[in-house]
Structure 1
Amino acid sequence: MSLLTKYRGVLLIFLSSILYFLFAYFLERTSFYFLTFLWFSLFGCFYILLKSEEFSFFNLAGIALIFRLIFLFVTPNLSQDFFRFIWDGRMILEGLNPYLSLPETFIQQNNFPIAEAKKLYAGMGTLNGSHYTNYPPLNQLSFLLAALFSSKSIFGSIIVLRIQIILTDIGILYFGKKILEHLKLPIKNIFWYILNPFIIIEMTGNLHFEPVMLFFLVFALYKLIQQKWMMAAILLGCSVSIKLIPLLFLPLFFQWFIPLYKKEKNDMIFWTGFKISPKKIMKLMVFYFIVIFVNIILFSPFYSSEFIANYSNSVGLWFGKFEFNASFYYIFREIGYLFRGFNEIAIIGKITSVISILFLAYITFFRKNIPFTNLISAMLFGLCFYYFTATTVHPWYIATPLILSVFTKYKFPIVWSLVLVFTYQAYSNEPWKENLWFVALEYVIVFSYLFYELRNKNYNNLMVS
């Protein structure tokens, strides 16, 4: 056995650590080719590490933690959203409602309600500072914790935010492992998420709070398979109160409470209807009520008529104003230019939202979503359909399809987590500007692998027989 073979694992860990260190401390967002080199190199090491037989589950967990700790004392270099997180948290600490004011208003009036207001506003940028915050209340609690522990230091707040994200990733590891054990799937599958360079860089490194949302979602799913559906509803409500995206999953839980029934004829199985009963309907209604009530409780400290208007407008911007890294939407946009001569984003955004809702309704009522693996597959494809038609798909959005794919046989989100590096090409320009050839390359690869999987997997798992 050669020394290289004998110490391959140690060399991979060392090389990955060096690459993460370079990413964290020396990378400029505008250096697209250096970023791409580091990204693909890290994914290469990640894949070899995960396929290696010499590392146990706990070895890999320790390695994942080490990689995250490399980012502990660094300022994010690929995103500036954290400046708004810190702003909102300090506003709450001062007794001010972050949903009712714009950062730019304070700056224009030379009114600085929080420490380092000028620096935070400059960091978040005029676009962010000119819109009302759209982060739900439990997410605001995370921001408040950063303000409590570090109300006068941006760097200190960054560390507090990062520790929260690392801790929730540990929680995802714990409950994800339990779900995999229940499904009798390899427990190392959870490392497709935990060790994924995209997750380490975008979440721990750039302070996006998807892991906190996903912790509550994975915890809720674990409680659901334990038949503790009330606790699952509370946790799902908390997940929604971090990021609104789990709201898309609510219809898909219908069959968990009101399953399809089947009959056999000539050795064939037909799914013929739903096992409806008052008790089952009541359980479903209570489940939905708990999810909604949790959010009413969490939103209530911020409630006012002005809050509703501001928050609705802020969320609405994602459907009628913003566009980034879209797939089918860009095709629809070009068709709009061809026939109308201008950008029809306001109309297209509404139409694609309706189409997504119709697709969710279809897979809710015309697809077999039990047992648990079918439910997760429905969540995966329902969410991805929404992203494929959305006007804005930021890189960190892919964390949710990625964790869902861990519990299924579909791996196209892992491929997506690799090729979404092409989205960063937009930031190599000042001001930023997308090169649609890179966007096309990203989605051609993703759709090609998706169609390959659909062709080679059991298609009947997707649709009702």
Structure 2
Amino acid sequence: MMLQVWKNNRFSILLLLLGILFYWSFAFQLERTDFIKMITLWAGLFIIAYKIIQENADNWKLLAIAALLFRIVFLFAIPNLSQDFYRFIWDGRMLLEGFNPYLSLPEVWVAQGNTPIAQAQELYNGMGQLNGSHYTNYPPISQLCYFIAALFASKSILGSAMVFRVLIILADIGTFFYGKKLLEALKLPVKNIFWYILNPFIIIELTGNLHFEAVMVFFIIWSLYLLQKGYWYWTAIVLALSVSVKLIPLLFLPLFFQKFVMGEKRSLPKLMMFYGIVIITVFLTFAPFLSGEFFHNFKRTITLWFQNFEFNASIFFIIRWIGYQIVGWNVIETAGKILPLVTITILLGLTFFRQNKTTVQLITAMVLGICTYYFLSTTVHPWYIAVPLSLCVFTRYKFPMIWSFVIILSYTAYIHPDFKENLWMVGLEYGIVFSVLGWEIYKNSKVSKSVPTTSFLN
């Protein structure tokens, strides 16, 4: 039996073993300052993923096993490309001890020397002074995940990382399950889901570096499947849960207008109820933490995010350069107030001036909408691309796939000990992304948006 399996899948098994070796090296041997090694492994893993999917397009069980094995490689690893998980552990342990994580700063607890959680100094050192000096802005479902890790590993950083990893892997399994069902419901090739599940970017940034975009994506894909099946009220609840993981899905709410008001079963009252259920559900998840101080701290952190932080931006970096030429200083504070308004205007344009009546049209608008937001943002961390990447497998647009590969160029910032972005690399990254996007907009404008794509690679 085993011999027959080997004979029938020899090349794929060799690719699988090579992929495991590459992921192991990425997880346990890579320093993020070693960009040459990083991009070599990165490119190799993308080639391996492409070939495995190409060779086994109709063998989804083998592809699913490969995706799971690649993730398990990271189980005992400490993330080497991101420090955020230290703050996740901190928040979870504060919750376990009965403290509201939104109301205090790690740096204050450490300065006082009476922190109620284990390994406080180590966690603070790991998250860094910048993270430790700001109030947490991770919504309640994320906090629940952090609490679960604290419940099972309240005194071990590696143990907490392992619990996070299990939760993220379970979320990816859920994304695979509902993504596959949604593709079947839309009469699209099932193999499309593997361009997300087997994407090295997803495996490394989410499972490897412990970013909970994986949980958010799971709820988004689940909600879209429920919408396609006609369960709009459950869609609202599940979509609200995605908002309570990360706030970003709030951007999608206007785009549902045509689906409800101009679709097959037109109903403005139903749309209002849909929005009402989303808002109420989000409110209920936040309810245990609400207070005047919570609103002040949460708003303060969100404002800082838009008006103080900058990383891997595209259009904003051009605006910043123009600002230096005209006024002589960084205009991030002003731009941080104006660019979100531009994003909202574009989202409203997508809502009312583009056809979003079918589920495929809606998902396409979601891809374009969230990418518009990122193109206009002052900060675009690599793991943010998980959402448009997960959605694009249901559409004709493939540029998020390209973006998921070239986003590695943003890590050239870590070559320098003092963290300095290489704007030539940022320019190359976005030059490629915008070129592919422009070509796809031109190509897809000639095709009826109401007809779903038949192959993700066509």
Q: Does 2:439 match 1:436?
A: no
Q: Which residue of 1 aligns with 2:68?
A: 65
Letter in 1 for 2:185: H
Shift of 1:136: 0.2
Q: Distance in 2 between matches of 1:396 and 1:406?
A: 17
Shift of 1:111: 1.8
Q: Does 2:155 match 1:168?
A: no
Q: Distance in 2 between matches of 1:333 and 1:38?
A: 33
Q: Which residue of 1 aligns with 2:125?
A: 122
Letter in 1 for 2:14: L
Shift of 1:451: 1.4
Q: Distance in 2 between matches of 1:246 and 1:404?
A: 12
Q: Which residue of 2 aligns with 1:286?
A: 273
Counterparts in 2 of 1:6 and 1:168: CA distance versus 1, 3 Å? closer
Shift of 1:6: 7.0
Correspondent of 1:370 among 328, 352, 357:
357
Q: Distance in 1 between matches of 2:42 and 2:278?
A: 38
* Residues 144-171 of structure 1, C-alpha deviations (whole Å, 9 max, x = no match): 0000001111111110010000000000
Q: Distance in 1 between matches of 2:437 and 2:7?
A: 36
Q: Which residue of 1 aligns with 2:315?
A: 328
Shift of 1:459: 4.6
1:166-315 to structure 2, matched below 5 A, reads 166-259=169-262, 280-315=267-302
Q: Distance in 2 between matches of 1:107 and 1:214?
A: 34
Letter in 2 for 1:135: Y
Whether contact under 8 Å (1:9, 1:54) holds in the other structure is no
Q: Distance in 1 between matches of 2:9 and 2:197?
A: 25
Shift of 1:458: 3.2
Whether contact under 8 Å (1:367, 1:462) holds in the other structure is no
How many residues are aligned here? 445
Q: Distance in 2 between matches of 1:350 and 1:156?
A: 41
Q: Which residue of 1 aligns with 2:43?
A: 40
Q: Which residue of 2 aligns with 1:100?
A: 103
Shift of 1:336: 0.7
CA RMSD of aligned residues (A): 1.7
Q: Which residue of 1 aligns with 2:157?
A: 154
Larger deviation: 125-134 or 28-37?
28-37
Letter in 2 for 1:452: W
Whether contact under 8 Å (2:58, 2:191) holds in the other structure is no
* Residues 284-342 of structure 1, C-alpha deviations (whole Å, 9 max, x = no match): 11111111111111111111100000001111112100000000000000111111100
Secondary structure at the counterpart of residue 205 of structure 2: helix
Q: Distance in 1 between matches of 2:9 and 2:257?
A: 52
Whether contact under 8 Å (1:103, 1:121) holds in the other structure is yes
Whether contact under 8 Å (1:363, 1:378) holds in the other structure is yes
Q: Distance in 1 between matches of 2:226 and 2:27?
A: 36
Whether contact under 8 Å (1:260, 1:368) holds in the other structure is no
Correspondent of 1:404 among 388, 391, 413:
391
Q: Which residue of 2 aligns with 1:144?
A: 147
Letter in 2 for 1:333: R
Counterparts in 2 of 1:462 and 1:198: CA distance versus 1, 3 Å? same
Secondary structure at the counterpart of residue 369 of structure 1: coil
Letter in 2 for 1:228: Y
Q: Distance in 2 between matches of 1:366 and 1:425?
A: 39
1:403-422 to structure 2, matched below 5 A, reads 403-422=390-409
Unaligned runs of 5+ in 1: 262-274
Unaligned runs of 5+ in 2: 1-5, 451-458
Correspondent of 2:412 among 383, 408, 425:
425
Q: Which residue of 2 aligns with 1:271?
A: none
Q: Distance in 2 between matches of 1:288 and 1:120?
A: 39
TM-score by length of 1: 0.93
Whether contact under 8 Å (2:57, 2:191) holds in the other structure is no
Q: Distance in 1 between matches of 2:232 and 2:376?
A: 31
Q: Distance in 2 between matches of 1:157 and 1:6?
A: 37
Shift of 1:7: 2.5
TM-score by length of 2: 0.95
* Residues 206-241 of structure 1, C-alpha deviations (whole Å, 9 max, x = no match): 000001011111111111011100000000110000
Q: Distance in 2 between matches of 1:174 and 1:320?
A: 39
Counterparts in 2 of 1:118 and 1:461: CA distance versus 1, 3 Å? farther
Q: Which residue of 1 aligns with 2:371?
A: 384
Larger deviation: 4-13 or 145-154?
4-13
Q: Which residue of 1 aligns with 2:137?
A: 134
Q: Distance in 2 between matches of 1:439 and 1:349?
A: 19
Whether contact under 8 Å (1:374, 1:461) holds in the other structure is no
Q: Distance in 2 between matches of 1:454 and 1:256?
A: 22
* Residues 28-50 of structure 1, C-alpha deviations (whole Å, 9 max, x = no match): 11111110110001111111111
Q: Distance in 1 between matches of 2:231 and 2:379?
A: 35
Q: Distance in 2 between matches of 1:168 and 1:416?
A: 22
Shift of 1:53: 3.7
Whether contact under 8 Å (2:183, 2:189) holds in the other structure is yes
- Percent sequence identity over matched residues? 55
Q: Distance in 1 between matches of 2:107 and 2:188?
A: 51
Q: Distance in 1 between matches of 2:448 and 2:373?
A: 20
Counterparts in 2 of 1:224 and 1:6: CA distance versus 1, 3 Å? closer
Q: Distance in 2 between matches of 1:362 and 1:462?
A: 16
Counterparts in 2 of 1:282 and 1:431: CA distance versus 1, 3 Å? same
